[in-house]
Amino acid sequence: MTGIGGLDNILNGGIPLGNTVLVTGTVGTGKTTIGMEFLVRGAQKGENCAFITVTEPSAKLIENMRTYDFFDDELIKAGKLHIFDLHVIYDHLGLEWGEYEIRDMDILLGAFEDIVDELSITRLVIDSITAICYQLQNRSAIRKFIFDLGKFLSTFGCTTFLISETVIEAGVEKYSVFGVEEAISDGIMLLGNINRKGDLLRTIQVVKMRGTPHSRAKHVSDLTPDGMAIVPLLKWGSDMY
Amino acid sequence: MTIEEDIKKQLEKLPDSTILYLNSDTKNYYRAMLATVDFLVNKLKYGGVYISSTRPVSDIRIQMEASGIPTGDIHFVDSVIYLIGGESREERTAYVESPSMLETIMLKLDWQLKQVGTPEKFVFFDSMNGLAVYNEEKLLMEFIHVFSNNMRMQDLYTVLISVREQTPANVDSLLRLNCDDIIEVGASQGKVEEEAVIGGGAKLERGGT
């Protein structure tokens, strides 16, 4: 079970252990929050969890998360919830932020493996896979990195959220910027917005999840102090009938 | 007998939990609302959630307190204040940007219900005609269907109030079908009964389910 209200119902019990899930959407749809809540719920059950933040400093991330009642600093102090700043990892590895060679990415993957292995991490969030891939030189490097990442994650049986941005190409919404991210994913959760008469409703839809018979219907979500809450989208209120 | 006494007499006949359609004429709308909330809070000692798509919560709270209804055990969902650009700082209140965000209203209601401290709880939705201003009829009817069944599943004492003259016929028909009980307040549509002159009275009917 993810422990996130409503999501486990959609997933018919939760995410199968060890699945890699692409959590994708546009800005402001709650990707980071659902990622953190996923970890907090796991840590509250005694699991070891890790969040690798790429897009914002960990201090700022924690500060933002403190606005939610579900977030608990004690989980960090107790060593159940680890938050890593990718820039700090780079410093430790002697890497510089910029464009990376495949060799550099192997070093980074090795660091991720060490985190998961040495801390016995069972829930991992990388926020975002898109930002990491932007550091790579070309599509083949991106493909190799993503496949290597998927390989190691499946070996360790760690349930992982890869946070990603959606893009629109030729009027069609794609689940990831580089088109490779979904290939290694066991599941895809699409977060978005519906514009209803000028008001934006946050939505969540489980497009794919291997290993569980799940709902594929679009749902409306809300970020409450307790975390994400979810109800089915009213059919006559969807963007396309 | 005043309209308030008449409504309370009808409410006393109802079970401890029901889905009630409170159908009032324009003239007696606020009196019907206040009399019902007064019954729930002061007589039954229920706490609950009041959802407003008609007036800002600040106004409603003032009206309740002026009528002798303590609001300490009432939480609110306000979907009006953003429309008029007012302040959103009321205690125990969740705000929704617009009455067209029906699913968000349900989510805020769930959250507020968890905060209510009393063992027995009510939900008062003010109002169906207010929602009809901002929502397409089919969407509103779907919402009423989902909402009433959701409340029934949770065994909550639920009141859906609507102003008779401003309620679309299909919406009124669905409310009659989906609600367990109906209280008619004031003059019936299309005719002004003699009793309406002295307030209209209240009449109890059984719903369609």
ipTM score for this prediction: 0.85
Q: Which of A201, A232, A236 sits opposite B138 (nearest CB)?
A: A236
Q: Which of B103, B111, B146 sits opposite A226 (nearest CB)?
A: B111
Q: Quick check: A201 and B103 CB within 8 A?
A: yes
Q: Which domains, from first to last, does chain B contain?
A: 3-206 (3.40.50.300)
Interface of B with A (CB under 8 A): 97-98, 100-104, 106-108, 110-111, 114, 134, 136, 138-139, 142-143, 146
- What is the architecture of the domain spanning A7-237? 3-Layer(aba) Sandwich (3.40)
What confidence score (pLDDT) does residue A241 get?
A: 42
What confidence score (pLDDT) does residue B189 get?
A: 43
CA distance A7 to chain B (A): 14
Using a CB-CB distance cutoff of 8 angstroms, which residues of chain A are in contact with residue B104?
A: 201, 220, 222
Using a CB-CB distance cutoff of 8 angstroms, which residues of chain B are in contact with residue A235?
A: 142
The residue length of chain A stands at 241
Q: Which residue blocks in chain B are alpha helix, DSSP H? A: 3-12, 29-38, 57-66, 81-84, 102-115, 128-134, 137-153, 169-178
pLDDT in tens, chain A (241 residues): 899 988 999 999 999 999 999 999 998 899 999 999 999 999 999 999 999 999 899 999 999 999 999 999 999 999 999 999 988 888 888 777 777 777 788 888 999 999 999 999 999 999 989 888 888 878 888 888 888 888 888 888 899 999 999 988 878 888 888 888 888 899 999 999 999 988 899 999 999 999 999 999 999 999 988 899 999 999 998 865 4
Using a CB-CB distance cutoff of 8 angstroms, which residues of chain B are in contact with residue A194?
A: none
3-state helix, strand, coil in chain B (%, to 5): 45, 20, 35
Q: Quick check: A199 and B134 CB within 8 A?
A: no
Q: Quick check: B108 and A232 CB within 8 A?
A: no
What confidence score (pLDDT) does residue A68 get?
A: 95
What confidence score (pLDDT) does residue B208 get?
A: 65
User: How much is the average pLDDT of B13-34?
Assistant: 95
pLDDT tens-digit readout, A64-75? 999 999 999 999
In angstroms, the CA B56 to CA B79 distance is: 8
Confidence of residue B201 (pLDDT cuts 50, 70, 90): low
Q: Quick check: A234 and B139 CB within 8 A?
A: yes
Is residue B198's pLDDT more than 50?
A: no
What confidence score (pLDDT) does residue B89 get?
A: 82
Q: Which of A221, A224, A237 sits opposite B102 (nearest CB)?
A: A237
User: What residue segments make up the domains of chain A, in order of their start?
Assistant: 7-237
Instruction: Report yes or no: A63 and A139 within 8 Å, Cβ to Cβ.
Output: no
